[in-house]
Amino acid sequence: MVKSRQPNGASSIHLGKDGYWHGYVTVGVKDNGKAVRALEQERDAGRVRKAGQTWTVESWLTHWVENIAAVHVSENTIDGYRVAVYHHLIPGLGAHRLTKLEPEHLERFYKKMQDSGSSAGTAHQVHRTVRAALNEAKRRRHLTENPATIAKPPRLEEEEVVPYTVEEVQLLLEVTNRQRNAARWVIALALGLRQGEVLGLKWTDVDFELGVLVVHRGRLRPRYQHGCGGTCGRKPGYCPQKVNIRRETKDTKSRARRRPIGVPDELMKLLALHRDEQDRERSLARDLWVEKGYVFTSPTGEPLNPNTDHHKWKELLETAGLRDGRLHDARHTAGTILLILGVPDTVVDAIMGWEPGQSSRMRRRYQHLTNRVLMDTADKVGGLLWTRSGQRPPAG
C-alpha cells in the first residue's frame, strides 16, 4: 500500500517502536488546504497554547496569586486577591482544567455565590480577580481566550450612601470629645480623609503655623505570622507571640492622593491639645513608649490598627445613638458638606483626593442632597419665576 504524502503544514500520527502513538504538527508553515484540524487552525491563527504543565484552575490561581500578582501589586490589593482566590474561586471552580473553563461556568458560579448570601459587590470582586488571573494565563499562552472577558459579570448597582446630617455629626462630635484620640474622628468628618490616610499621619505632616497638613502615606493593615512556630494552635493573628510581617505604611504614588489640606482653626487647636495629651501619655509609658512619630497612636506609641479603629467607630455610633454606618460614611459626609457649602469643585477634588478621571463621577455620588437643601433650592426657583414677575402660583 502506497502512502500518500501529507500536504505541507498538516499533522501526522504514527505508531512508534516504543508502542505509543505519536502525533506531529508542523508549526510555522501555513497550510492552504481545506481539511485543516482544530489544532492546525489554532496554529495558523497564532493561538497555539504553550506546551508543558497541564493547569487546573486551582493550580493556576495559586501560582498566579503567590508568584506573579504578589510581586507586582500593593499589599492591600493582594489581600483582596487572596480572599477571592482561596475563599471563593478555588472552592467553587478549582477542579476544572484551566483550558476547559467556560464563561457559563463562571456565570453559574457568580449566581451561586449570591444565592448563598454573598453580595453583588463581593461577586464582582471575584469576577475582577479571575479576569486578571486568566488574562495573565492568556498572556503566557496557557490559554488562547479568557472566558472571564466573555462571561457576564454580576450586576453591580451603585450603593446609595446616605451621609450623616449636620445635627448627627454634632452629636457624634460631642461623644468623641469624651474619648481618647478625639481629633482622629474630627479629621474624618471635617476633611474626609480615608482611614489609612488618617492613621498614617505623622507630626511632621502637620504645619501648625500655616494651618496645613499633608497627606502622602497610608496605613496598611498588619499581616501576622506565628512567632511560636505554630505551636499555639491559633490563627496567626491571635498568636500570643504574633509577628507583623508587613510594613506599617505605604507612600502614595498618586499625585491626587499626595496633597496638602487646609485645616480649620478649631481643628488645629484640637490637634495641639491632642499633641499635649500624647506628651503626657509618653511620660506615663516611660520605657514602654515606642517613638514612631504618628499623630494617632496606642497608649505606647504604636500606630493604630485599622481593625481596632473600625470597631471604635462602631462603638461611637452606638454611644451616640446613631444608625449603624461604615467608617467610609464619615468620608461621604465630609464630601457632601463641602459640596453643599458651595466649595469650588477643584478645591473639593483636592481635599478629597479624587483622581482627575473620577472627580465628576465621585462628586455626583457624594452630593446627597438633604431635604433642607432641596427645599432651599425650591424656594430660590420659586423666587426667580414668580416674585420678579409679580405673579403668584395658582392656589391649590
**pLDDT given for residue 2 in this prediction:** 46
Q: Is the pLDDT of residue 87 over 90?
A: yes
- 178 and 272 belong to one structural domain: yes
CATH code of 126's domain? 1.10.150.130
The model's pTM is 0.64
- 243 and 312 belong to one structural domain: yes
CATH code of 239's domain? 1.10.443.10
Across the chain, which distance is largest between two alpha carbons, in Å?
108
* HSE, side-chain direction, 13 A CA sphere, residue 122: 17
- Assess if residue 128 is contained within a domain: yes
Any idea which of 5-19, 29-43, 47-61 has the lowest mean pLDDT?
A: 29-43
Residue 190 grid coordinates: 471635617
- Tell me the C-alpha to C-alpha distance, in Å, between residue 153 and each of 124, 126, 137, 227, 358: 6, 10, 19, 41, 22
- 274 and 181 belong to one structural domain: yes
- 140 and 266 belong to one structural domain: no
- Assess if residue 218 is contained within a domain: yes
Domain boundary among 304, 327, 350: 327
More confident residue, 81 or 267: 81
Q: Is the pLDDT of residue 8 over 70?
A: no
Dihedral sign of CA atoms 68, 72, 78, 84 in order: negative
- 221 and 269 belong to one structural domain: yes
- 31 and 93 belong to one structural domain: no
- Assess if residue 392 is contained within a domain: no
- 300 and 268 belong to one structural domain: yes
Q: What angle do CA 382, 388, 391 make, to 5 degrees?
A: 75
- 142 and 260 belong to one structural domain: no
Domain boundary among 327, 357, 375: 327
Q: Is the pLDDT of residue 78 over 70?
A: yes
Q: Is the pLDDT of residue 393 over 60?
A: no
- 62 and 38 belong to one structural domain: no
Any idea which of 33-47, 127-141, 143-157 has the lowest mean pLDDT?
A: 33-47
Q: What is the pLDDT of residues 301-353, one digit of tens each?
A: 999 999 999 999 999 999 999 888 887 777 777 776 666 555 666 766 666 67
More confident residue, 329 or 5: 329
Q: What is the pLDDT of residues 204-232, one digit of tens each?
A: 999 999 888 888 898 988 888 898 888 89
- The percentage of residues in the chain with a pLDDT greater than 70, rounded to a whole number, is 70
The total domain count for the chain is 3
- Assess if residue 39 is contained within a domain: yes
The answer to whether 171 touches 320, Cβ cutoff 8 Å, is yes
**pLDDT given for residue 35 in this prediction:** 47
Any idea which of 284-288, 313-317, 338-342, 373-377 has the lowest mean pLDDT?
A: 373-377
**pLDDT given for residue 342 in this prediction:** 58
**pLDDT given for residue 32 in this prediction:** 46
* Domain assignment of residue 22, given as a range: 12-44
- 145 and 178 belong to one structural domain: no
CB neighbourhood size of 33 (10 A): 11
- Average pLDDT on 147-175 reads 83
**pLDDT given for residue 328 in this prediction:** 77
- Average pLDDT on 174-199 reads 88
**pLDDT given for residue 192 in this prediction:** 80
Any idea which of 6-15, 127-136, 181-190, 332-341 has the lowest mean pLDDT?
A: 6-15
Domain boundary among 102, 120, 150: 150
* pLDDT category of residue 70 using cuts at 50, 70 and 90: very high
Q: What is the pLDDT of residues 230-247, one digit of tens each?
A: 889 888 888 988 888 888
